[in-house]
């Protein structure tokens, strides 16, 4: 908290900190740092947010916003085409997606914000290489918040050369040990059983989710009102438009279970395109419901394996049925299955019967819930965002 004696946490400066939060892509890269941003605002610090235009403009809790024209995967209305995952190519596109023009633009934009806003430090995502570079060039500490729940540093060697090229263009010297990737402090919002952090160098702190929750929603109230098992289905906000007929298969399968099922389609997908079949299951289809408003109500989460969705479910001790669609989702699903907290199906080939049978197992076999509860306890043992903020504050002026 801001000291009444000196106006700044632990130091003699007269003003609260100015902290820039930056993320490199869509909402999934912003979400892991929001608990820390909320803690900073609650402590009286000024916060700025820089990142993809639409995601930035959705956020209202920041002192300053810098929406940027970040190139995101093209989204067209509908669920598009589901492309099977090639396990050999998982995470190989990190340089292509996060370096090049995207990172170079962030060096300029975040650097300008840091300078003009006289920021004290930068908090950025694991793949926000441009923000890391901008912070180092400006001479302010950088805190790196990890974004992938289980995929470790297997991509680090692939980014070595393009990252060095980015640093050279910014006027920085070589970083052969890749210290920049960990910043002055690395925040890990995942349990060690999922992301061990063996590849990390420098100070590391694990952060548990905050207790912030969205306002009550009609959909959450509907879900809570039902008797029997409750199931939440989501394919995220990016891969939902690359899911083909997966939503239809999920709805057909889950409608055969005696459960209350909430399906969220995400943006760009029309909820009316999914007729709900007759069956013992009661199904409601919405475009968006904040997941933190429903995860504490459900007995099973069916998702694509996104890091935020997986960690959110496990933070509530809820087992998972994972159908990976891309990015880090395949290793996330494999990790969940290896920990005994869920099962994985191939999103491209799973039939409605496969889905029904697997979901039924997850709802009726207690071992999955026991494993998920074990991970919940591990997540809860992490530091609160307020404690992590204390560590962040000590990076400035010490």
Q: pLDDT tens digits for 21-71?
A: 999 988 889 999 999 999 999 999 999 999 999 899 999 999 999 999 887
> Is the model's pLDDT at 383 over the cut of 70?
yes
Q: With 0-12 CB in 10 A as exposed, 13-18 as middle and 19+ as buried, what is 329?
A: buried
CATH code at 18-208+382-394: 3.40.50.2000
> Is the model's pLDDT at 339 over the cut of 80?
yes
Domain ranges of the chain: 18-208+382-394, 218-380
Structure tokens at 70: 């970040």
CATH code at 218-380: 3.40.50.2000
**What is the Cα–Cα distance from 146 to 185, expressed in whole angstroms?**
11
- Residue 74 has a pLDDT of 55
Q: How confident is the model at residue 11 (pLDDT cuts 50, 70, 90)?
A: very low
Question: pLDDT tens digit string along 346-369?
Answer: 999 999 999 999 999 999 999 999
φ/ψ (deg, to 5) at 163: -70, -40
Quick check: do 18-208+382-394 and 218-380 share a fold?
yes
Question: pLDDT tens digit string along 67-111?
Answer: 998 876 655 678 888 888 887 777 788 998 899 898 999 999 999
The structure's pTM equals 0.91
- Residue 278 has a pLDDT of 79
| Mean pLDDT to the nearest integer, 237-245 | 83
- Residue 80 has a pLDDT of 85
Mean pLDDT of the chain: 91
């Amino acid at each position: 908290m801001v000291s009444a004696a000196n106006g700044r946490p632990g130091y003699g400066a007269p003003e609260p900190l100015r902290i820039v939060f930056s993320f490199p892509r869509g909402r999934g890269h912003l979400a892991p740092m929001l608990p820390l941003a909320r803690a900073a605002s609650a402590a009286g610090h000024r916060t700025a947010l820089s990142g993809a235009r639409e995601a930035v403009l959705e956020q209202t809790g920041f002192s300053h916003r810098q929406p940027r024209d970040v190139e995101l995967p093209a989204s067209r209305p509908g669920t598009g085409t589901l492309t099977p995952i090639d396990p050999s190519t998982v995470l190989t596109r990190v340089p292509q997606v996060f370096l090049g023009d995207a990172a170079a633009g962030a060096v300029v934009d975040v650097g300008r914000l840091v300078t003009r806003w006289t920021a004290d430090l930068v908090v950025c995502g694991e793949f926000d290489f441009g923000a890391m570079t901008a912070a180092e060039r400006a001479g302010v500490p950088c805190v790196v918040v990890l974004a992938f729940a289980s995929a470790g540093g297997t991509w680090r060697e692939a980014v070595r050369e393009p990252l060095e090229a980015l640093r050279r263009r910014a006027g920085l010297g070589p970083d052969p040990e890749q210290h920049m990737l960990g910043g002055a402090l690395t925040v890990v919002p995942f349990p060690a059983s999922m992301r061990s952090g063996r590849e990390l160098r420098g100070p590391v702190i694990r952060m548990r989710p905050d207790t912030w929750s969205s306002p009550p929603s009609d959909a959450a109230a509907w879900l809570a009102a039902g008797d029997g098992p409750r199931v939440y289905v989501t394919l995220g906000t990016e891969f939902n438009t690359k899911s083909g007929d997966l939503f239809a298969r999920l709805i057909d399968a889950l409608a055969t279970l005696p459960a209350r099922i909430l399906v969220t389609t995400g943006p760009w997908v029309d909820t009316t395109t999914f007729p709900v079949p007759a069956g013992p299951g009661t199904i409601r289809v919405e475009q968006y419901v904040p997941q933190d408003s429903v995860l504490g109500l459900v007995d099973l989460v069916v998702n694509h394996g996104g890091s935020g969705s997986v960690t959110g479910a496990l933070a509530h001790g809820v087992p998972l049925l994972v159908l990976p669609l891309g990015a880090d989702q395949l290793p996330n699903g494999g990790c969940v299955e290896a920990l005994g907290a869920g099962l994985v199906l191939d999103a491209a080939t799973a039939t409605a019967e496969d889905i029904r049978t697997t979901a039924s197992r997850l709802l009726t076999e207690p071992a999955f819930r026991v494993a998920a509860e074990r991970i919940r306890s591990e997540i809860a043992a992490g530091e609160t965002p307020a404690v992590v903020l204390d560590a962040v504050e000590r990076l400035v002026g010490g």
